[in-house]
Structure 1
Amino acid sequence: MNGTTDNVFDVVIMGAGPVGQTVAGRVRAAELKVAVVEQELVGGDCAYWGCIPSKAILWPVVALADTCRVDGARDAVSGPLNAVRVFGRRDRYVANWDDDGRAHRVKEIGAELFRGHARLDGARRVTVATPDDQVVVLEARRAVVVCTGSRAAIPDIPGIGAAHAWTNREATESSAVPERLAVIGGGPQGVEMATAWHGLGASVTLLEPEGRLLHRMELFAGELVAEALGRAGVEVRTGVSVGELQRRQPSGVRRGRTGGDQPGQRTTTVGLGCDGARPVW
């Protein structure tokens, strides 16, 4: 890296996701000078790999299921979802992963946007390594606000690295429907992705280490979701642990050793049957 540029602001915000943008708006409303630093896309995970793309994929699945439950309306349903169009809908909602519009809105409120990897480098001091190998030094008169979000936690399961497990990012941005799919974890994101990908045509197995789905929520919520998923055709297995993931054949199918709801252990196909696809995490 080379080159150093000094900039002084009242507030420096690390991260341009929903929280960072909200803070920037409040700071500008107080007529203070603000800098926002983002190393990926302005808008963060929610806009591109979370809430928005997941709901864009889910809504056609839910709409079709609701239609099929209504007398008279179900007679108009003549086939499965058009996955290509569902993915096209998602791509429109995430602006094809182009953040120009969101970046423009950050600048519109009077904030200065810096692209690159930010790190704290002293009291109210942030250094930014930019994509063009420069170092930008930002000084904050009042505060540095850390709004860097989070990243998916990959469990320490033998073989998971070679199996190339999906995180929420691959699960929401993939445009290929796998033949078979395992979702490990029955929390909100797990049941959401199990619902979406099953609705798009994948054969889905949902594996949850706890004794029930959505274990941090009310008991009835997990019971209702498990019942609905089972009725739809998702194989739901609770109280199981994944002991190993391994690539079985070049087609991309992975197998995992599971146990917990059956005496002893057994090997279950938990991967995908199409080239280039990977298990959802």
Structure 2
Amino acid sequence: MTDAGKISEGSSYDVVVIGAGPVGENVADRARAAGLTTAVVESELVGGECSYWACMPSKALLRPVVARADARRVPGLSAAVQGPLDVGAVLAKRDEETSHWKDDGQVAWLESVGADVHRGTGRLTGPREVTVTAPDGTERRLTARHAVAVCTGTRAVVPALPGIAEARPWTSREATSAKEAPGRLVVVGGGVVGVEMATAWQALGSEVTLLIRGGGLLPKMEPFAGELVADALREAGATIRTGVSVTALQRPAPDGPVTVELDDGDRVEADEILFATGRAPRTDELGLETIGLEPGSWLTVDDSCLVEGTDWLYAVGDVNHRALLTHQGKYQARIAGAAIAARAAKAPVDHRPPGVLTRPPPTTRPCPRSSSPTPRPRPSA
């Protein structure tokens, strides 16, 4: 260990991955499968947003809501499912699905494939160089012989409004991890996060009001999709107001209600307010300026997720803004991992193996086989 503020000379790896969500895990897995030494740097929980604050907890909250709605449409069954949901049981199942916000299992998985996990905040400090600041303030420098993969994802965007700090608004993280249903919940935004959380918390007993700046829900989908979701939310008891914007917030008492001021002069009072108003890349504190890139920007990549203008930096998943979806990020991770391995072996990245329809069916392989003698487990998230 070193004194805080001093950088110790760390280790050299073939690949350094910043971010241990599903995307980073899959990049590390592919790199290790090709026999490349790999370090994974994570500042929070190994498993990332999907496992603890997005996909897993949100679907755990929504599953009983959807199951009950489906059952109510089945003749002969609907009468048996007219009662309220067991909120405590739903939240307990949500906690189970997130492993109670503990990442021991996913750390063990990464270690089982041979990756080294470094706890702390990773920051680029030069080409192929990542400095990791540990929770105790000590710093360690990691160098990458072949590639650094940025898999840091995105963060929720909260608008800079008067009173926003005192209001302590929810983002998607608080909405998926809340320990109880608020009596009244205002949801600002009608995209996927907004409508999913409105659906979940309305069913769990909250009085939900959605405030939409545009003309309807789910604006990136066909209009009828948003209309159907709006009809279902209204039928469940939610209020939807379109064509309005929030101008200011007031929460005079820390434990008191929040007053939401609107641009039409009206006010809405709630116990909690959720801003589901978009995402921004987690690149503002990544050290991009040390390699000539703009901090806080989306990273533009080619089809192998190699950042434009570099031959060693990869941006994989949400951070490259191609498709902000976990399954798409994992798909990109497998591509990026294979590309890193191919370039490390000086093999062609655009190799197209021929198919020979004989028995057995031979093909060609551009990358070296894994040095691992036994099959390895796959990422769980």
TM-score bracket for the superposition, by shorter chain length: over 0.9
Q: Name which of structure 1's ranges 51-60 and 242-251 shifts more when overlaid on structure 2.
A: 242-251
Q: Name which of structure 1's ranges 157-166 and 239-248 shifts more when overlaid on structure 2.
A: 239-248
1:88 paired to 2:88:
no
Change (3 A) 1:114 1:249: closer
Query: Partner of 1:218 in structure 2?
Result: 222
Deviation at 1:257, TM superposition (A): 1.7
**Which SS does the other structure have where 1:225 is aligned?**
helix
Query: Partner of 1:205 in structure 2?
Result: 209
Q: Residue 63 of structure 1 is aligned with which of 59, 67, 72?
A: 67
Query: Partner of 2:268 in structure 1?
Result: 268
Rounded Cα–Cα distance in structure 2 between residues aligned with 1:64 and 1:107: 40
Contact 1:248 1:255 in 2 (8 A): no
Structure whose alpha-carbon radius of gyration is higher: 2
* Deviation string, structure 1 residues 72-121 (Cα, Å, up to 9, x no partner): 21222363111111010001100001100001111111111100011001
**Which SS does the other structure have where 1:198 is aligned?**
helix
Query: Partner of 2:273 in structure 1?
Result: 279
1:116 paired to 2:110:
no
Rounded Cα–Cα distance in structure 2 between residues aligned with 1:10 and 1:209: 48
* Deviation string, structure 1 residues 156-196 (Cα, Å, up to 9, x no partner): 22211111000111100011111100000000000000000
- Unpaired runs of 5+ residues, structure 2, are 276-381
Percent identical across equivalent pairs?
A: 51
Rounded Cα–Cα distance in structure 2 between residues aligned with 1:243 and 1:41: 35
1:44 paired to 2:48:
yes
TM-score (norm 1): 0.93
Rounded Cα–Cα distance in structure 1 between residues aligned with 2:238 and 2:113: 46
**Which SS does the other structure have where 1:151 is aligned?**
strand
Query: Partner of 1:174 in structure 2?
Result: 178
Rounded Cα–Cα distance in structure 2 between residues aligned with 1:134 and 1:163: 34
How many residue pairs match? The answer is 271
Rounded Cα–Cα distance in structure 1 between residues aligned with 2:194 and 2:93: 21
Query: Partner of 1:140 in structure 2?
Result: 144
Query: Partner of 1:24 in structure 2?
Result: 28
Rounded Cα–Cα distance in structure 1 between residues aligned with 2:251 and 2:157: 21
Deviation at 1:142, TM superposition (A): 0.8
TM-score (norm 2): 0.69
* Deviation string, structure 1 residues 114-135 (Cα, Å, up to 9, x no partner): 0001100111000101123321
Contact 1:84 1:175 in 2 (8 A): no
**Which SS does the other structure have where 1:141 is aligned?**
strand
- Unpaired runs of 5+ residues, structure 1, are 273-277
Query: Partner of 1:258 in structure 2?
Result: 262
Counterpart amino acid of residue 279 in structure 1 = I
Counterpart amino acid of residue 208 in structure 1 = I
Q: Residue 77 of structure 2 is aligned with which of 57, 73, 78?
A: 73
Q: Name which of structure 1's ranges 74-83 and 46-55 shifts more when overlaid on structure 2.
A: 74-83
Contact 1:258 1:267 in 2 (8 A): yes
Change (3 A) 1:248 1:72: farther
Query: Partner of 1:275 in structure 2?
Result: none
Runs (4 or more) in structure 1 with deviation over 6 Å come to none
Q: Name which of structure 1's ranges 203-212 and 74-83 shifts more when overlaid on structure 2.
A: 74-83
Rounded Cα–Cα distance in structure 2 between residues aligned with 1:252 and 1:181: 13
Deviation at 1:5, TM superposition (A): 3.8
**Which SS does the other structure have where 2:211 is aligned?**
strand
CA RMSD of aligned residues (A): 1.4
